[in-house]
Amino acid sequence: MDLDVAGVEQLVSTGALPEAARVDELVASAHERNRWVADGVVADYIPALAAADPEAFGVCVADVGGSVHAAGDVDVEFSIQSISKAFVYALVCEVVGHREALARVGVNNTGLSFNSVVAIELNDGHPMNPMVNAGAIATTGLVPGDDDADRWAFVADGLAAFAGRELRVDEEVYASEAATNERNQAIARLLASYGRLDADPGRTVDLYTRQCSVLVTTRDLAVMAATLADGGVNPVTGRRVVSAGVARDTLAVLASTGLYERSGEWLYEIGLPGKSGVSGGLVTVAPGKGGIATWSPPLDDAGNSVRGQRATAYLSRALGLNVFASASYRMSDPRPLEASS
């Protein structure tokens, strides 16, 4: 994972983001220093995604005060894909609660690819965590509603509340994915065979496919991430979307599993909860401070945006966001070190 942070000073911050002008400057810098990166390949296993512009690149930061700082293609729409897993999980947790979500979906990394069937078999049918396809399908299976229309309304309204605006489905992407989602159908049926999915497998996969086809912008994703950073309150609209406890639980899952089998490296290098999607989106959350979103379609071999990872690594360091970074309290203590206790 080459993230090109050489020479970037590691700022340590436990308070708010820097002043707005400084954030604007750093967001522009994150975009400019990575816009020429040519590594990665656009996802082509979903036909509708293969046509994405490999040059497209947006970087956006939304803080918990409601300010948004942007550079590049931040208002171009693209399908949310797997990033939807994080927000639908939060919406479902609000309904089923902490213990039920832990028991039914889990929180542990599988260490295998995001669409692994083997991981289910190795764990007695347990989906393990909501950020891989098995766990996301199990999560979507817990969406409340009397029928398909009710369940879709729950998902669509919840995602819109996170973004602070109405969102629509990319019908071309939905049709393309629905025609090629045999593996997800197999995962759903396997979960059902183990008694891990109460809802109809086919309808659950259809709902999951539709949630992944929702169109968002980089700006939307930054606001959605900032909503989790702000304890579940959308900082732009002021509307509470989920409880502070659900926001906390969701961020804990993202920290350990959000970047698939590269989650450990991500946490080691960036030090923040994050979630990627195969359309090139990437969201990162600095609890209590704000959200970072990037979009760039070329992916690494784990399905994570190459430019997005590099830009986020830069901003994590330059803005002092890494939750594991700290400076010695004693270094700011006016007393001599030997006298401190």
Range ranked top by mean pLDDT from 32-46, 74-88, 326-340: 74-88
User: Is 20-80+215-325 a CATH 3.40.710.10 domain?
Assistant: yes
d(CA 81, CA 62): 21
CA distance 195 to 188: 11
Residue that the structure tokens 């509340």 belong to? 161
Note whether 239 and 195 are within 8 A (CB). Answer: no
If you average pLDDT over residues 167-183, what whole number do you get?
Answer: 95
Task: Indicate the class that CATH gives domain 83-212.
Answer: alpha beta
User: Are both 20-80+215-325 and 83-212 of the same fold?
Assistant: yes
Residue 334, exposed/middle/buried by CB under 10 A (0-12, 13-18, 19+)?
exposed
Indicate the annotated binding residues.
Answer: 82, 133, 177, 184, 208, 260, 278
Strand, coil or helix: what is 264? helix
Domain boundaries, the chain: 20-80+215-325, 83-212
Task: Say what the pLDDT of residue 47 is.
Answer: 85
φ and ψ at residue 211, rounded to 5 degrees: -65, -35
Lowest-confidence region among 188-192, 264-268, 292-296: 264-268
Inform me whether the pLDDT recorded for 280 exceeds 60. yes
- Name the one residue in this structure whose structure tokens are 């509708």: 48
Give the pLDDT confidence score for residue 336 in this predicted structure: 53
pLDDT number for residue 44:
87
What is residue 210's predicted lDDT score, i.e. its pLDDT?
98
Q: How many CB atoms lie within 10 A of CB 173?
A: 24
Q: Residues at the annotated binding site for substrate?
A: 82, 133, 177, 184, 208, 260, 278
| pLDDT tens digits, one per residue of 116-138 | 888 899 899 999 999 999 999 99
Q: What is the pLDDT of residues 211-231, one digit of tens each?
A: 999 999 999 999 999 999 999
